[in-house]
Amino acid sequence: MMLDHVVLKVDDLEHAVEKYSKMGFTVFPGGEHENFGSHNALIAFSDGTYIELIAFRTPVPPQRRIEKSQELKRSGKTRIFSRVLPWGVVSEGLLDFALLPSDEEESFEKLKRRQLDIEGPMLMQRKRPDGKEISWEMAFPDHDDLPFLIRDITPRNLRLPSDCSHAIAVSGISRLFMVIRDLSSSQSRYETLLSTKARAYCDSQLPGGKSCAFPCGSTEIVLMEPDPANPDLKIFLEERGESVWWLELRTEANAARDGSVLEKLRELRISLN
């Protein structure tokens, strides 16, 4: 099991591509998701992970993510739609992430037998700007603290850009921080999903209360339960639900660091290690 990608919602995809390109990332157009009325662009890294910049074609009024999700469930939408469509109602920023089970190690069916309530798979397709059709499947657990799962039907290298080089010299995602409501419950679910035990995680600079970490390929996933005394994370959780809070990107050795770019990244809740 490895991290596949992280979802970063943007309001205007063309503007976002320009902004991230100016910061030193190589950004490629992705294509259209007709099922969800969205389109995307990709920032791929040499460790096999990527950031998906996703925007929705039709603007919708701002709304709390959990309220939108509940509204969609009441209207009869499946779990897949009630999780993805609420991405469109929240403000720009990090939102969600997907894991890629290996063919040899896992399958959606085997994961379901681990007493995980998983809906899917759902067939997804998009057409690249060069006209090539690519397809994959997605499956979604019942709990929003867990990542969704993705499995390629067409070769994975067709879904990802081939150029993983960046002027900013980033080579991958080293750490992903996830804000969750209850550490004990989430830790148990992640241990079931990943078939591994959590390790204690302590960082004096973290604004959260209790936390733990899981290895996942070349990325570490850190779960953070907000400290009741921290208003920022409490508001974050109320507005965005259980969601990706911060990304730490891995840089190549001796990479030059532009202070102005670092500041822009911090505003996006992204840092370089």
- The pLDDT of residue 93 is 95
Polymer length of the chain: 273
- Scan for tokens 């009630």, then name that residue: 82
User: 112 with 118: CB under 8 angstroms?
Assistant: yes
Written as six digits, the tokens of 208 are: 């959260």
Q: What is the pTM of this model?
A: 0.93
H or E element: which one contains 239?
A: helix 231-240
Residue 105 confidence class, pLDDT cut points 50, 70, 90: low
Per-residue confidence (pLDDT) for residue 104, from 0 to 100: 56
Question: Do the domains 2-159 and 170-272 sit in the same CATH topology, yes or no?
Answer: yes
Residue with more model confidence, 198 or 126: 198
* Listed residue (91, 147, 92, 242) closest to 234, CA to CA: 242
Q: Which residue has the higher pLDDT, 206 or 129?
A: 129
Contact between 269 and 247 under an 8 Å Cβ cutoff? The reply is yes
Topology at the third CATH level for domain 2-159: 2,3-Dihydroxybiphenyl 1,2-Dioxygenase; domain 1 (3.10.180)
Sequence spans of domains, the chain: 2-159, 170-272
pLDDT level of residue 254 (50, 70, 90 thresholds): low
Give a three-class secondary structure readout of 8-20.
Answer: EECCCHHHHHHHH
175 — pLDDT class (breaks 50, 70, 90): very high
Supply the pLDDT for residue 137. 92
pLDDT, residue 27, reads: 96
| CATH 3.40.50.300 holds for 170-272 | no
C-alpha 200/C-alpha 213 separation (Å) is: 6
Q: 188 by DSSP, 3-state: which? A: helix
